[in-house]
A = this chain, B = another copy of it.
């Protein structure tokens, strides 16, 4: 709604529409990007009229920002819901890499989200930064702390090494899936995982 008042009891009717609009917006923006998505299509996908969309969101840009922030929060929950990082590095790092890789590969929504954020990162730098701050940064910090907690790994810069780990995985999904390179330069994901764990673990020896 346009002006929420303090202490106002939410009308569930209205909240439902907002949710439907965000659902429709997600479908359209993720499929076609920002500029190629029309408010008519959003309204149609949401099952409401266009005027209703404009009664809940100021304009196209406002709707887009609200959607991206919602999706970033959702991803944040999904990723931080992974298993706690503790135990033998060989086990933990392999499981971490395998889990993260397959979560990205098996999730078309994640891939569309990446396309959208990167594609619009010039027009909406603040939204890309929300993604960085709420997803990439905590992920790197978590891994960095784990690496630092295992002195037997003998890694002088845990944070930089965490970036190498994450960067390798994300870029693998970027080339193979998001940019459709898996038929042009195929590689089993296990080979990447093996090579990564080899680099990180065997360095200590």
Contacts and interface: CB of A to CB of B under 8 A. Distances in A.
Given A131-B179, A171-B167, A191 B160 contact: yes
A35 interface: yes
B179 A121 contact: yes
Contact of A164 (B31, B160, B192): B192
Interface stretch (A17-25, A69-77, A110-118): A110-118
Chain A interface residue bracket vs B: 35 or more
This chain's copy number in the assembly: 2
Contact of A167 (B117, B170, B181, B184): B170
Nearest to A130: B184
A174 B119 contact: no
Contacts of A105: none
Interface of A: 31-36, 112, 114-123, 125, 128-129, 131-133, 136-137, 140, 155-157, 159-161, 163-164, 166-172, 174-175, 178-181, 184-185, 187, 191-192, 194-196, 198-200, 202-203
A115 B128 CA distance: 12
A192 B163 contact: yes
Contacts of A200: 199
